[in-house]
Amino acid sequence: MGACWSHGIEAVTPSYTGFNSKNVSRDRNDMSSSSGKLSSASMPMTPRSEGEVFQACNLKNFVFRELKMATKNFRPDSVLGEGGFGSVFKGWIDEKTLKATKPGTGIMIAVKRLNQQGLQGHKEWLAEINYLGQLHHPNLVKLIGYCIEDEHRLLIYEFMPKGSMEGHLFGRGSHFQPLSWHLRMKVALGAAKGLAFLHNNESKVIYRDFKTSNILLDSDYNAKLSDFGLARDGPIGNKSHVSSRVLGTLGYAAPEYLVTGHLTFKTDVYSFGVVLLEMLSGQRSIDKNRPSGQHNLVQWAKPYLASKRKIFRVLDNRLEGQYSPDQAQKAAKLALQCLALEPRNRPIMNDVVKALEELQEPPRS
């Protein structure tokens, strides 16, 4: 899941190499904390203090004991996945009272339990509550509650039965069937709508961690964004960007952001382009197992995306026969626009949504 920093992106060479974490930072102080997300998330959207964050959101404050019961004591066979912050467990609660129920009764939940390493990640945990406690949209995952007790930090979400887009694109084994072209376009549209909602005038939030593992899928493959630990309020007034330390996941961050630390809505658009390219190609943005010259998907694929005749070299061969040449060209063009080196040449997410809406139809035969 993690990618190696030393591969860089586009022509960007970071000021240091060998930072072997999925999350990147230019701040030397951060290099000491080698696992998980680094603690620099902001506390945005008006409320600032911990108490204010809890008050502003309408979420249940769970008791740890209750979550232990709901997840069968965090048993390994309840694990849904592992991330940089900790593990995610399956659990069961009563829909009305939100009390733990016997497994198999009530509703299913996903419980994210932070690793207890000196409370690293507390800020991101709080940022998640701050954002998901206030932002509600069909394409954002629903946060049901949280737990803060001694050193324990947990987040309780609606359960997403089809897991993450990462699993469907890159998962191995019979559990994951390759997603069809139609479903990939559906997921891309849902995720684009989620980002467009975050960017709109009411929310004005930069997501900063757009990647396939953060796109979760419900039973109908509706996409929902999760993980707002790195999200930030967008620029206000006549400011064009917000400055920040460089955080995010290797292979997805926009080149200008890596160089300057300037965050804009267009930083997310670039990451969207990377994900769209991963969906079209069925390949990870960075993969050292590919032949040399192909480790960085964006660098390798860009020239092909720009050529009508060569797009097919990039497209996932598991998709053969499922799209028309016109659809392939439109999707490739959109990915290319999102991946423009100049942020101003990238589309805004509302336009990405429009372009993807046109790609939802089955191909005319």
Ligand X SMILES: Nc1ncnc2c1ncn2[C@@H]1O[C@H](COP(=O)(O)OP(=O)(O)OP(=O)(O)O)[C@@H](O)[C@H]1O
Is 209 annotated as catalytic?
Answer: yes
Cβ(157)–Cβ(109) below 8 Å? yes
Among 46, 6, 45, residue whose Cα is nearest residue 24? 6
Contact 311, 323 (CB under 8 A): no
Q: Is the dihedral of CA 166, 170, 175, 181 positive or negative?
A: positive
Q: Distance of alpha carbon 68 from its chain centroid, rounded?
A: 27
- Return phi, psi of residue 107, to 5°: -115, 155
78 binds, among ligand X, Mg ion, none (CB under 5 to 8 A by kind): none
Of 5, 62, 125, 157, which one interacts with ligand X (CB under 6 A)? 157
Catalytic choice (30, 209, 227, 316):
209
Q: 265-281 and 349-357 are packed helices; what angle lies between their axes, rounded to 10 degrees?
A: 30
Phi/psi of residue 195, nearest 5 degrees: -65, -40
Backbone angles phi, psi at 133, to 5 degrees: -75, -20
Residue 214 within binding range of Mg ion, rule CB under 5 A = yes
Contacts of 202 (CB under 8 A, 6+ apart): none
Segment near ligand X (CB under 6 A); pick from 161-169, 173-181, 299-307, 338-346: 161-169
Residue of 124, 128, 227, 316 interacting with Mg ion (CB under 5 A):
227
Number of residues that bind ligand X (CB under 6 A): 25
81 lines the binding site for ligand X (CB under 6 A): yes
Residue 126 CB, nearest distance to ligand X (Å)?
Answer: 16
Q: Contact between 128 and Mg ion (CB under 5 A)? A: no
* From the list ligand X, Mg ion, none, partner contacted by residue 131 (C-beta under 5 to 8 A by kind): none
Taking CB under 6 A as the criterion, the residue among 66, 124, 227, 316 binding ligand X is 227
Scanning residues 2 to 41, which ones bind ligand X (CB under 6 A)? 22
Of positions 3, 9, 80, 301, contacts ligand X by CB under 6 A? 80
CA-nearest of 84, 44, 88, 87 to 247 is 84
Comparing CB distances to ligand X, the nearer of 110 and 305 is 110
Q: Are strands 60-61 and 143-149 parallel, antiparallel or unpaired?
A: parallel
SS3 205: strand
Instruction: Name which of 219 and 238 has its Cβ closer to ligand X.
Output: 219
Task: State the residue for tokens 């499922």.
Answer: 322
CB 112 within 8 A of CB 229: no
Q: Please give the single-letter amino acid code of residue 116.
A: Q
In this structure, are strands 107-114 and 86-93 parallel, antiparallel, or unpaired?
antiparallel
124 is a contact residue toward ligand X (CB under 6 A):
no
Q: CA–CA separation, 153 vs 116, rounded Å?
A: 8
23 binds Mg ion (CB under 5 A): no
Using the rule CB under 6 A, give the single segment among 67-75, 194-202, 211-219, 236-244 that binds ligand X: 211-219
- Rule CB under 6 A: is residue 110 a binding residue for ligand X? yes
Do 109 and 159 contact (CB within 8 A), yes or no? yes
One DSSP character per residue, 125-166 reads: HHHHHHHHTT---TTBPPEEEEEEETTEEEEEEE--TT-BHH
- Nearest residue (CB) to ligand X, 93 versus 314: 93
Q: How far is the CB of 213 from Mg ion (least distance, A)?
A: 5
112 annotated to a ligand binding site: yes
Does the footprint of ligand X cover residue 141 (CB under 6 A)?
A: yes
Q: Judged by CB under 6 A, does residue 88 bind ligand X?
A: yes
110's contact among Mg ion, ligand X, none, with CB below 5 to 8 A by partner kind, is ligand X
Query: Which single residue brings its beta carbon nearest to Mg ion?
Result: 227
Q: With CB cut-offs between 5 and 8 Å by kind, which of Mg ion, ligand X, none does residue 151 bind?
A: none
Nearer to ligand X, 160 or 196 (CB): 160
Residues near Mg ion (CB under 5 A): 83, 214, 227
List the binding residues.
112
Interacting residue ranges for ligand X, rule: CB under 6 A = 1, 22, 80-85, 88, 110, 112, 141, 157, 159-160, 163-164, 166-167, 213-214, 216, 226-227, 249
Could you list the residues known to form a binding site for ATP, using ranges.
112
Catalytically active residues are: 209
